[in-house]
Structure 1
C-alpha cells in the first residue's frame, strides 16, 4: 500500500493491467493523470479531437484484441468521444474511455463550473451500458480492475470510467488490485457432442465467422482441416480465414450468393456473430433448427436468429472441443463454385472500384491491415474484393456506421504494431470528419498510406436521393485540395491520375518517413451525378 494521488492511482492501475499506450488530449481537469503517465512508461498519443482519440483507441484494440484506452477531460471532451464509444459498443471492441467528472460535492443542479455537464456518467452509460464513477481515491484501482473484467470477460464491450476531478489531485493510501482472472465459461459437453454429431453427418455445412472469432483463427483452421465446409465471413470476421483457403467463399454477407449458399446448406455453424442487419443488407436467409451458434454472450445467442443448437463459450474453447471429437473428412472442393458465384456478385456490386482494389492488392503485403471508413469504396469495393489473410485485419465501422473512423483507426493499428503494414481507405466526405488526425499521424512519423477516394461529396446519399425520385441537393462538397492540406499538416501528398497509379503510390508510402495521402478521383454514378 502506497500513498498516491488519484491520477497516480489511475495510471498505476492501467499499467498494472498491461496498458502501454493512451490516446488523449490533456485538459485543465485531467492534468494529475497526465503527470503520472511517464512514471509508469505509458506512451501518450495526441489526436487533434477527442473523437479521433476514441477511434484510434478502437483501431488499437480492434487490430490486436487488447484493450485500447482513450483519456479525455470533462464534459464536452468526453461527449466528443461519444460517437467513437458508440461505434466500439456496436462492434464489440474493448475500449476504456476515461474522464474526470464533476467534484464529489458538486451541487445537484449545477453551478456553472468549467466543463459542467448535468450527468456525464448517465450520458455515457446510455451509450455503453457501463459507466463506473468512483467516490474515493482508494476505489480507483478497484474500478479499473472491474472495468477490465467487464471489457474482457464475455462479449467485449467498451466501458466509461469517471473520476471526480477533485479526486485526481487528492491523496490516499492505495492498495493495488490485480487483474481479475478470466471468467470464461467452458463449453457444455452435451451441446458440443450434439453439434459434432450434426456436423459429422452434414453434406453441405456452411461456417459463418464473425468478429467474435478474431481470437480463434487457429481453431477455425483446425475445424476446416476436418470439416468439408464452405466459409463466409462478416466484415469484422474478414481475415479470420485466409482468403486463399480452399473452403473460403467470401467476406461480406450482403450478396445473393451468400443467401443461396445458406439456404442450400444442411447445417450452418455461426461463430461469434449476431447475424446483424448491418452485415446482411439483403435480409437473412431462412435459417432454422439446423443452425448451430457459438457465442460467448448468452444474451446474444438468440439475437436475430434462434438456433437449433447453441454453445455459450469462448469461440476458441468451443471449437477446440468440437475439433477434438469431429471425425476427419476429406475436403472435396465443393465450395469452389460458390466462390465463383460470390466473386461474380462482388465484382458486379464493386464495379467502379475494381481497378482500385486490384491496384492495391498487387502491392499489399500478406500481413497487411486495412482501416476502411463507411464509404462506398469500402463496403462496395474493398470488403468483398480485396483478399486479406490475417485475423483482425479489416477495421470497418459496421454497426453504428460512423464516418471519420478509418484514418484514426488506422493510426491506432499502426501504433499498436509499428511493424505491420497498415493502409487507410477513406471517402472524401468521411475524411473531413477527422481530417485533423493527419497531424497526429505526421507527428508520429508513421509510414501510413491514406487513400482518399473522391466522388465529390456524400455519394451514397446522393444515389439514395436519386433513387427515391427526389431532388439531389446538400450532398456536393466541392473539390478540396487534399494533397495540399496533407502537406500543410506534415504528410506527403500524391495525386493519382487513375486507379492504376494508386498501387504504385501505396508501395512507396509503405516505406516512407511520414504518412502519405493519396488522392484519386472516383469514376462512378455518384461522381458523375454529384450536384
Structure 2
C-alpha cells in the first residue's frame, strides 16, 4: 500500500517539510513516529539516523550553521524527545534555525498519568522553556500549519529553534488538506535618521573598530566593504569567525574575548557592532566599550545588551551595513598597520593559553583545503586553539558552540556539516573527553561513507576542569580518566583508526584521510 493510501497527519507534516525545501531530516524511528517515516521517501526527504537523538539534534544544528537552511530533527515520544533537549537548548543559545518534531500522548490524555508508553507529564511545556516556542497540535491541519509557522519564524528576526508536538492519534488521522508555504518575513528597514547619525559618527572617527558576530554571517561582503571604506580593523566573535576573511589585511581574527582587543576598543573613538549580544561567552568575563557605539541587530532586545548603543539600528545586517557605507570617511586612513599590530597583540595573548594546541591546529590546517569546514567541541584544542589559530576564508565554516558549550558536539556536527555541503571537505578536531560523549556517531559517519578526518587530542580526561581545580587549590578529583584504544574502536566501527604522538604528522594524515572511503580517526597522544 502506497503512502498516498495513508494520507494522514504524518503526511501533513512531511508534505509541509517538503514544500519548504527540506530534503534531509535527522532522527531515529520509534514506535510512535512511524507515520512520519512512512511518508519521507515519497516526499523526497532523506532520513539520516544518528545513533542518539542528541546527536541528531547536533547534526541538525550544524547543518543549519553551515548551510543557512533550517535543520530538522524527528524524534519519537518521551525519551526520544528528552534526549534531544540539550541539542535544542544549544540551538537556542547559538541562534540556529532548527525544527524539532515529536509525537505526543493521544489527544485527551495530557497529564493523565496513565502509564502510557513514553508518557511525559508535559513534553511541549518542557520544550517551551528551552526554545522560541513549542506547540502541541490538535488536528492534521494544525500540524501542517505549525510546520509552516515554524519556517516563517526562522526568517522573522533572530533565528531560533522551535518544537511541534503531534499526538499519535493526530499522526494517524486522515487528512485531505493542502500545504500552505511560508514566505520570508521582511526585516525592519533601518531608520534613515539613525543611519545618517551612525554613518556620520563612523565617517568622522579617527580610530574606528568593527566587531562582527553570528548575526553578520550573511553580510560578509557588506562588512568587508565597509571596513575597507573606513580603514577599520575587524574583530569577530566565535560565531562570526570568517565574516571577514582571516587573511584579510584588516582582520584581527576571532579575538573579541581577548583583553588586547578590548583595550583597543576602549581606546578608540567609534565601535561598530554587527549582530552580536556581546555576551560573557564572547567576552570571557571581559568588557567591550568605546566612546561612541553603533549597534546593528535584527532583534530590538539585542541593541543595548551588555554594551549600550550611542546609535542603534534594528535591521537585517546586510541592509544596515550597506546603508552605512553611504557616507565616505572624513579622514583618509589606512587601517592595515593598526590591524596587523592588533592581530599580533591578540595572537601573542592567545598563545599564553594555547600550549601545544597552536601547533596541532597549524598542522591540521595545513592538511585541509582553505574552504574546509572544521567541527570542534568544548575542548581546549578548540577554544584555546582553533578559535585563534585555524584561519577561515569565509563564515559558516566553523562548527562550535561557545555559548551553550556542550560536550559531544563535534562528531555529530561533522555529520550535519557534511550533508549541508556535499562533496566539500569536513574535519573534526576535538579532545578525548568530548569524543567520549558521542563516540557512537563515528558509526554514523562510517555508514554514510564520509571521508572525515577525526583528530582526537588525548590529554587524559577533563584537562580544563583539572586546571580549574588546580587554580582553586583543589587536588585533581574525577578528572584524570583512562583513554580506551580509540584507533581500535574506530576500526571496530568500520572506520580507519590511526595513532601518533607527533603533531607534525597530522598534516599528512589529515590530507590522506580526505581521499579515504570512510572516516579516519587519528588518536594524538598528548599525555605529557
TM range (shorter): over 0.9
1:452 aligned counterpart, secondary structure: strand
Deviates more, 1:269-278 or 1:223-232: 223-232
Alpha-carbon contact 2:26-2:56 (below 8 Å) kept: yes
In structure 1, C-alpha distance between the alignment counterparts of 2:494 and 2:17, rounded to whole Å: 32
In structure 2, C-alpha distance between the alignment counterparts of 1:315 and 1:7, rounded to whole Å: 37
Alpha-carbon contact 1:426-1:451 (below 8 Å) kept: yes
Please tell me whether residue 512 in structure 1 is matched to residue 516 in structure 2: yes
Please tell me whether residue 10 in structure 1 is matched to residue 28 in structure 2: no
Please tell me whether residue 263 in structure 1 is matched to residue 266 in structure 2: yes
Alpha-carbon contact 1:274-1:303 (below 8 Å) kept: yes
Deviates more, 1:348-357 or 1:90-99: 348-357
Cross-structure match for 1:322: 324
- Measure how far apart 1:173 and its partner are: 2.1
Tell me which of 456, 477, 497 is aligned to 1:452: 456
Cα distance change on mapping 1:126 and 1:517 into 2, 3 Å: same
For each residue in 1:225-258, what CA deviation from the matched residue of structure 2 results, as whole angstroms up to 9, or x when unmatched? 3111011111111111111111111213222211
- Measure how far apart 1:311 and its partner are: 0.4
Cα distance change on mapping 1:245 and 1:288 into 2, 3 Å: closer
Structure 1 residue runs of 4 or more that deviate by more than 4 Å after TM superposition: 327-330
2:302 aligned counterpart, secondary structure: coil
In structure 1, C-alpha distance between the alignment counterparts of 2:328 and 2:395, rounded to whole Å: 24
For each residue in 1:207-231, what CA deviation from the matched residue of structure 2 results, as whole angstroms up to 9, or x when unmatched? 0011111111111122123111011
Tell me which of 59, 64, 83 is aligned to 1:56: 59
In structure 2, C-alpha distance between the alignment counterparts of 1:332 and 1:232, rounded to whole Å: 13
- Measure how far apart 1:502 and its partner are: 1.1
Tell me which of 497, 500, 512 is aligned to 1:496: 500
Cross-structure match for 2:313: 311
Tell me which of 98, 101, 107 is aligned to 2:101: 98
- Measure how far apart 1:305 and its partner are: 1.4
Alpha-carbon contact 2:378-2:405 (below 8 Å) kept: yes
For each residue in 1:11-39, what CA deviation from the matched residue of structure 2 results, as whole angstroms up to 9, or x when unmatched? 10001111110000000000000010001
Cα distance change on mapping 1:320 and 1:135 into 2, 3 Å: same
2:130 aligned counterpart, secondary structure: helix
Using the size of structure 2 for normalisation, the TM-score is: 0.96
Deviates more, 1:331-340 or 1:46-55: 331-340
Alpha-carbon contact 1:4-1:174 (below 8 Å) kept: no
- Measure how far apart 1:289 and its partner are: 5.4
Q: How does 1:5-154 map to 2 (within 5 A)?
A: 5-106=8-109, 108-154=111-157
1:336 aligned counterpart, secondary structure: helix
Tell me which of 375, 385, 389 is aligned to 1:385: 389
In structure 2, C-alpha distance between the alignment counterparts of 1:470 and 1:225, rounded to whole Å: 49
Alpha-carbon contact 2:90-2:406 (below 8 Å) kept: yes
Q: Which runs of 5+ in 1 are unaligned?
A: none
For each residue in 1:465-501, what CA deviation from the matched residue of structure 2 results, as whole angstroms up to 9, or x when unmatched? 1111112111122021011111111111111221011
Q: How does 1:460-499 map to 2 (within 5 A)?
A: 460-499=464-503
Deviates more, 1:20-29 or 1:421-430: 421-430
Please tell me whether residue 337 in structure 1 is matched to residue 341 in structure 2: yes
Q: How does 1:246-325 map to 2 (within 5 A)?
A: 246-285=249-288, 287-288=289-290, 290-325=292-327
- Measure how far apart 1:107 and its partner are: 5.2
Q: How does 1:364-403 map to 2 (within 5 A)?
A: 364-403=368-407
Alpha-carbon contact 1:347-1:385 (below 8 Å) kept: no
In structure 1, C-alpha distance between the alignment counterparts of 2:200 and 2:256, rounded to whole Å: 27
In structure 1, C-alpha distance between the alignment counterparts of 2:110 and 2:52, rounded to whole Å: 29
Q: Which runs of 5+ in 2 are unaligned?
A: none
In structure 2, C-alpha distance between the alignment counterparts of 1:289 and 1:253, rounded to whole Å: 17
In structure 2, C-alpha distance between the alignment counterparts of 1:215 and 1:107, rounded to whole Å: 42
In structure 1, C-alpha distance between the alignment counterparts of 2:483 and 2:13, rounded to whole Å: 45
- Measure how far apart 1:99 and its partner are: 0.4
Cross-structure match for 2:172: 169
In structure 1, C-alpha distance between the alignment counterparts of 2:239 and 2:144, rounded to whole Å: 32
Aligned residues: 523
Deviates more, 1:457-466 or 1:353-362: 353-362
For each residue in 1:500-524, what CA deviation from the matched residue of structure 2 results, as whole angstroms up to 9, or x when unmatched? 11111110111111011111022xx
Alpha-carbon contact 1:252-1:279 (below 8 Å) kept: no
Alpha-carbon contact 2:127-2:134 (below 8 Å) kept: yes
Cross-structure match for 1:158: 161
In structure 1, C-alpha distance between the alignment counterparts of 2:335 and 2:464, rounded to whole Å: 41
- Measure how far apart 1:278 and its partner are: 0.7
In structure 2, C-alpha distance between the alignment counterparts of 1:178 and 1:418, rounded to whole Å: 26
2:140 aligned counterpart, secondary structure: coil
In structure 1, C-alpha distance between the alignment counterparts of 2:10 and 2:285, rounded to whole Å: 49
For each residue in 1:447-478, what CA deviation from the matched residue of structure 2 results, as whole angstroms up to 9, or x when unmatched? 11111110000110011111111121111220
Alpha-carbon contact 1:3-1:173 (below 8 Å) kept: no
Alpha-carbon contact 1:3-1:174 (below 8 Å) kept: no
Cross-structure match for 2:446: 442
Q: How does 1:203-282 map to 2 (within 5 A)?
A: 203-282=206-285
For each residue in 1:139-179, what CA deviation from the matched residue of structure 2 results, as whole angstroms up to 9, or x when unmatched? 12211111112222100000011111111111122121111
For each residue in 1:353-401, what CA deviation from the matched residue of structure 2 results, as whole angstroms up to 9, or x when unmatched? 1221111122221111111101001000111111111111111111111
Cross-structure match for 2:366: 362
In structure 2, C-alpha distance between the alignment counterparts of 1:117 and 1:96, rounded to whole Å: 20
